[in-house]
């Protein structure tokens, strides 16, 4: 019976994996059992965010010291740029270990992954991308040993974006792209990815997902999809997190949805369901990871008042939203080593987003 | 017996005073009794933030329709730029009215103001500025009828900044400025202002405030000073908010200090002291205004983790901090029409800042 | 016979019209004869650029001291935000004076203007806007007394943009907007305006301008249109500059097109045609105004090499382009008090843009 | 007799060394003879520019495929961030080859390098850094075989900067840093480096360079120093370029100084001296590399007019200056694959900067 382990490791820079290295040296992490690494890196989280690629380069250099190239490539690396506000850059390392002696009754955190093939440039932001992601989610669920989609609590997708050069190349061969604006292409890629997760998890009716619904029909959303676009890949990396009785160990995950950027009530409730009392400052040790999506509502309104995130031409609304939501969530869990990712198209309702929390359960005395 | 009234009015743009105009037309606000107007405007809150000057221009144009020029100039206009994250642009209009019939036992909100003379460019960020502000605070306290400094809960100061042109002019006449970096000059102006408030309120020993302590000795801070620098003035506008038994009316104010950007516990306690239960979503109506300062800690650490606000060369740390703290506070009071101002040098501890809350008390049935 | 005068006046701030005031006081400018004022103001030139509105507010306050409100409103105010690189903020004041004794043979600079009605939000970026602008150009030509479109050398248009609030309002009444991205709306507004100028000047076949060609068919462009979008108006202000034998005076204008941002050869040729020798540093005095459009090529290529303006998510490509082209043109005319405006959709070829130069001709001795 | 070769290779991304790889595969470049690689990468050129570190990571990965680690570390990698305006990202690869048969009479381009030890954090921006760089320049001159300082035409220095973490560490051990602002630390590092070059080349009297002159006495400057700060190193990498009769080959270098950002006259003169006629568009092939420094004048004035680069809090003045100067220089040499580096403290006069041009001379027929 496998057991998932999750390590949250602080990063001093986008290429700082000294904490991971130390954990490997100390035997706390076995490189061969790493299946995915998520990272919050300190770039702008937009098109020209090279902190993500730098992290991938440095991570692979480290892993190549321990693993064969094929095994290195198999590790899902989901680098999410943008640590606005007080958010702390960090890594979340997911291991799949043989079952622990220290077991818990019932289900435990299960982790699965999938890599898709390269996405043709002209498919980005279109139904083809949604389908490719849906297949990837099915593969990752299988990899996690989760058969019931209700047991999935989070699907993290790293998806590509368009650059001027990629657009030029596609157009030179007679293709047309969904949008020529590179920054906007990130939203199209995230949106098509997320709208592909919905049907895969039974949240959205397959029939409703059409070419025209992407970025248009905001009533279609997944409560568990989290997509992050980056310049550093051309395919998708998909990681499914859920609960499974085929897995053992002290970790558990649950999720909820924030209706807007300050809707922390459901997050407190989720912490309570997981046995992590938000009123206690000591619960920092119990919350292993908090993953959330943040975005500005498209109508420019928050709780009846006007916000200015969509009218600010100096700072992207995703950067505003990450800082804002990190403040709201940091105040709940009393620290800011949070995985808040920006741009939540079809990920939660307009202006809101999914939140997943992984906790370390305490062993009850017999 | 005077009575203070505070009106929170949404702004659709930096020059949108249609809400104020409507309130005047409806008789809800008497232009002649306005003593100060605070505004959160949607610029960058930095040197080249012209939203503040635009607001002042538009506001004065409106007031000139109702008041003589001298009376218009007497109104303190404190425009604070920067509505990052979900923060909502709005105005806080302070009136000093003849006492209401509807009276409350004990003290009530008292408001006083002062305008200083123009600050010589070479005094900015130096002990001379601190002294000028200290005198202004004394004048404003007198204007508010507050004799005991302990009854002051907030001192809002609008202070000038340096521009390339002002520096050039000063240097041409043989003066030297505290710093030639215009953006940094905002911090020096805020810092010198705040360190002047401390002794005026009995919070800091006069003897400790020297030229060398400004921006250097972070152990010296006021729990009630809030300074905001702007390109649109060369003097200071100072508004003192406190409780006084010489004033009547339903409004009350209290203050606290956040130790860092997510330290919302003291804010909840202050709401409770004021009888505004933070657990109730309905309390939006009771909180008339929330004023807070936000900043990034200078050591780059928040709750033991690294933040990146000081290493981001694309976005000023003050913009990050405003968005982050607005998220934390917005989640507490369930909306984001907040007056969060950035840059808290000598205003609260390093990385934290003062918070003041004005509430409308409910009349008890006899 | 009217005579045009053009005054280039330095601005110390977006609301600094002290130079204009001094010129009025000295009798050098007659407020009643001002027909248009162009300004380069130091905002970001994007959606949240409040330097433009501030300039308009301050300018109107000054003009109200000299003119009736109707006359003030009749003055075309074209504020173009963005003085990147070394560009100098300044005003260009256009007067229409009774003919001077000092006459020049043949044609002279002629100036005409038009104000359109308010553009319905849902028309922005669509064929309706193009048509509205085309009509405005015809009106302005008539006002300038220019009958042959070949005599027009520059058409400056100030056009509106979309804000979150305007979009919300339009959508609430069942309309749909051309784009929901406020920053992108500026390009749509400029593009639709410019593509309307083309047919009006006989540069583009009427039949080719369809809804689908706006921002799509880059082969359709005007060599004389210059459009600048701003948040501060809902209609269009249109100023036509040309040569007419019905006008007298020492001023002359000519135009050319840069093929890309460093294509200064045609600009040197135009200076030569106008008798302003670019090799002479003294020609600063002769060039009264230089107006140009700048943009990043959509294919991301400049002279065969990759540029990164379209992939930079921190700085808008229009800001990059203005700084870059200002450097190229400043080196040609030996100073940087230039009116370089960003975003040249359908204004010159992709990546390039129109340039117009106004010079003061020297009187030949008899 | 050694011969220098310089290859200018376009970069499609900060980690794109496919052009270098192809040149190595084709035998055009011998990895073992590479002594330095300069790169213009497309980050912000400021503290959080990770494009530079990404380039170094990717370059070293490639070189490790050809060379032993020690040899890889010996290659000077000078990554300069910021390709604003139309500037094209590219690499300049410097080889030291055994002398070519194809010889030119007299001197030829000579290249030398030096690596300094790590700079203690508290020395940055101080006289100790200036001294360390001066010693490094002497070492690099020796390496280049240049004995007369007059034969040096450019000294490129890559120097470190301060981060919040480095400051924290230094302060924890009782040291104090020259400045706590990380962005400003770049200027201090560049300034101290450049002021160290001056005496080493006999341009500045040793006695004049004191702790107090750094960033204060702008009359002290080198006409040949070019310093670029980066987060990716803690020591200095120094490359000296000059002319030496101990070297052979077709390449030649010369330098000049621009008095301000549009002072292109001296650049044209230098091209003429080198036999590269700026009037001919064909001279692109002859100019192998153009290296320049750009900065905003500290007094905020350019040719008598105000510039706004120092008052823009959204975009660093170095980014403005690079775009602007790239426009001016690109118009001179008809393309924009230029190595324009920002921040020219003590590198040329205030507001200006050194320019060096490397050309491929044509073999005269016998």
Kindly report, residue by residue over A151-163, the tens digit of the pLDDT: 999 999 999 999 9
How far is it, in rounded angstroms, from Cα C318 to Cα C325? 10
Indicate the DSSP class of residue D347. B
pLDDT given for residue B100 in this prediction: 62
pLDDT digits (tens, 9 = 90+) for D235-264: 999 999 999 999 999 999 999 999 999 999
Residue of B nearest to D161 (CA): B311
pLDDT given for residue D283 in this prediction: 47
Residues of D with Cβ-Cβ distance to C44 under 8 angstroms: 314
Q: Is C3 tagged catalytic?
A: no
How far is it, in rounded angstroms, from Cα A281 to Cα A127? 45
pLDDT given for residue C244 in this prediction: 96
C327·D261 Cβ contact <8 A? yes
Structure-block tokens of residue A10: 């602080």
C364 pLDDT higher than 80: no
Percent of chain D with pLDDT over 70: 95
Q: What is the 3-state secondary structure of C51-86?
A: HHHHHHHHHHHHHHCCCCHHHHHHCEEEEEECCCCC
From the CA of A15, how many Å to the nearest CA of chain D?
Answer: 9
- Please identify every residue of B annotated as catalytic: 158, 228
Residue of A nearest to C162 (CA): A311
Residue A239, strand partner residues? A113, A156
Establish if B10 touches chain C: CB-CB under 8 angstroms: no
DSSP of D13-77: STT--HHHHHHHHTTSS-GGGEEEEEEEESS-SSTT--HHHHHHHHHHHHHHTTS-HHHHHHSEE
pLDDT digits (tens, 9 = 90+) for C50-68: 999 999 999 999 999 999 9
Among candidate residues C3, C40, C158, C244, the one labeled active-site is C158
B262·A304 Cβ contact <8 A? no
- Which residues, at least 6 apart from B70, have a Cβ–Cβ distance to it below 8 Å? none
Establish if C83 touches chain B: CB-CB under 8 angstroms: no
Q: What are the CA-CA distances from residue B171 to residues A322, B193, D312 (Å)?
A: 42, 23, 21
From the CA of A266, how many Å to the nearest CA of chain B?
Answer: 12
Establish if D61 touches chain A: CB-CB under 8 angstroms: yes
Residues of A with Cβ-Cβ distance to D42 under 8 angstroms: 48
Chains within contact range of chain D (3+ C-beta pairs < 8 Å): A, B, C
Among partner residues A88, A260, A321, which is closest to B305 by beta-carbon distance? Answer: A88
Region A230-248 average pLDDT:
94
B217 pLDDT higher than 60: yes
C276 pLDDT higher than 60: yes
pLDDT given for residue B242 in this prediction: 98
Residues of B with Cβ-Cβ distance to A319 under 8 angstroms: 315
Residue of B nearest to D309 (CA): B164
Establish if A61 touches chain D: CB-CB under 8 angstroms: yes
Residue A289, strand partner residues? A358
B364 pLDDT higher than 60: no
- Better-scored residue on pLDDT, C138 or A164: C138
Chains within contact range of chain B (3+ C-beta pairs < 8 Å): A, C, D
Q: pLDDT band at residue C365, thresholds of 50, 70 and 90?
A: very low
pLDDT given for residue C363 in this prediction: 62
Among partner residues D89, D305, D329, which is closest to C308 by beta-carbon distance? Answer: D89
B139 pLDDT higher than 60: yes
Among candidate residues C51, C185, C228, C244, the one labeled active-site is C228
Among partner residues C48, C306, C316, which is closest to A311 by beta-carbon distance? Answer: C48
How many other CB atoms are found less than 10 A from the CB of residue B10?
15
Establish if C337 touches chain B: CB-CB under 8 angstroms: no
Among residues C214, C209, C350, the alpha carbon closest in space to that of C293 is found at C350
Residues of B with Cβ-Cβ distance to A325 under 8 angstroms: 327
Among residues A84, A150, A90, the alpha carbon closest in space to that of A329 is found at A84
Establish if A12 touches chain D: CB-CB under 8 angstroms: yes
Backbone angles phi, psi at D87, to 5 degrees: -60, 140
Establish if A314 touches chain C: CB-CB under 8 angstroms: yes
Establish if A89 touches chain B: CB-CB under 8 angstroms: yes
Among residues A178, A83, A206, the alpha carbon closest in space to that of A122 is found at A178
Establish if D68 touches chain C: CB-CB under 8 angstroms: no
Residue B305, strand partner residues? B302
Q: Decide: pTM greater than 0.90.
A: yes
Establish if D42 touches chain A: CB-CB under 8 angstroms: yes
A88·B10 Cβ contact <8 A? no
Among partner residues B300, B312, B313, which is closest to D168 by beta-carbon distance? Answer: B300
pLDDT digits (tens, 9 = 90+) for B237-295: 999 999 999 999 999 999 999 999 999 999 999 999 998 865 655 444 489 999 999 99
Tell me which residue has tokens 């460019």.
Answer: B121
Residue of D nearest to B186 (CA): D313
A324·B327 Cβ contact <8 A? yes
C50·B48 Cβ contact <8 A? no
Among residues A355, A236, A222, A238, the alpha carbon closest in space to that of A293 is found at A355
Among partner residues A83, A296, A325, which is closest to B308 by beta-carbon distance? Answer: A83
pLDDT given for residue A100 in this prediction: 62
pLDDT given for residue A106 in this prediction: 84
D12·A61 Cβ contact <8 A? no
Of A327-331, B96-100, C227-231, D199-203, the poorest mean pLDDT is in B96-100
Is there a contact between A124 and A192 (Cβ–Cβ < 8 Å)? yes
Establish if C84 touches chain B: CB-CB under 8 angstroms: no
pLDDT given for residue D280 in this prediction: 56
- Which residues, at least 6 apart from A292, have a Cβ–Cβ distance to it below 8 Å? A258, A325, A329, A338, A339, A340, A341, A353, A354, A355, A356
The CA-based dihedral angle spanning residues A54, A59, A60, A61, taken in that order and rounded to the nearest 10 degrees? 90
Among partner residues C305, C312, C336, which is closest to D336 by beta-carbon distance? Answer: C305
Chains within contact range of chain A (3+ C-beta pairs < 8 Å): B, C, D
How far is it, in rounded angstroms, from Cα D292 to Cα D299? 21
From the CA of C264, how many Å to the nearest CA of chain D?
Answer: 7
Among partner residues A89, A323, A335, which is closest to B323 by beta-carbon distance? Answer: A323
Residues of D with Cβ-Cβ distance to A53 under 8 angstroms: 14-15, 54
Tell which C residues from 163 to 192 touch D, by Cβ distance under 8 Å.
Answer: none
Q: pLDDT band at residue A103, thresholds of 50, 70 and 90?
A: low
Regions in chain D scoring below 70 on pLDDT? 100-103, 277-285, 363-366
């Amino acid at each position: 019976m496998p057991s998932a382990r999750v390590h949250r490791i602080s990063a001093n820079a986008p290429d700082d994996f000294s904490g991971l290295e130390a954990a490997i040296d100390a035997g706390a992490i076995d490189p061969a059992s790493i299946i995915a690494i998520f990272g919050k890196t300190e770039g702008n989280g937009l098109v020209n965010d090279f902190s993500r690629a730098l992290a991938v380069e440095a991570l692979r250099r480290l892993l190549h010291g321990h693993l064969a190239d094929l095994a290195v490539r198999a590790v899902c690396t989901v680098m999410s740029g943008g640590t606005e506000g007080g958010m702390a850059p960090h890594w979340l390392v997911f291991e799949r270990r043989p079952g622990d002696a220290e077991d818990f009754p019932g289900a435990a955190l299960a982790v699965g992954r999938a890599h898709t093939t390269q996405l043709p440039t002209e498919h980005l932001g279109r139904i083809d991308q949604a389908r490719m992601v849906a297949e990837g989610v099915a593969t990752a669920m299988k990899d996690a040993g989760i058969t019931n989609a209700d047991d999935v609590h989070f699907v993290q997708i790293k998806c590509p974006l368009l650059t001027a050069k990629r657009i030029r190349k596609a157009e030179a061969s007679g293709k047309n792209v969904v949008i020529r604006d590179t920054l906007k292409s990130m939203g199209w890629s995230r949106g098509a990815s997320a709208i592909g997760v919905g049907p895969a998890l039974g949240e959205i009716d397959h029939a409703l997902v059409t070419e025209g619904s992407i970025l248009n029909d905001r009533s279609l959303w997944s409560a568990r999809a989290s997509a992050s676009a980056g310049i550093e890949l051309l395919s998708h990396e998909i990681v499914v997190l859920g609960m499974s009785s085929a897995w053992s160990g002290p970790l558990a995950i649950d999720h909820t949805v924030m209706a807007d950027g300050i809707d922390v009530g459901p997050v407190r409730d989720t912490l309570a369901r997981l046995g992590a009392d938000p009123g206690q400052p000591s619960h920092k040790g119990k919350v292993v990871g908090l993953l959330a999506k943040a975005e500005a509502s498209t109508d420019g309104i928050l709780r009846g008042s006007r916000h200015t995130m969509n009218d600010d031409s100096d700072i992207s609304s995703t950067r505003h939203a990450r800082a804002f939501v990190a403040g709201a969530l940091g105040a709940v869990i009393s620290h800011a080593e949070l995985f808040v990712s920006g741009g939540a198209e079809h990920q939660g309702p307009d202006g809101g987003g999914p939140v997943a929390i992984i906790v370390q359960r305490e062993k009850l005395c017999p």
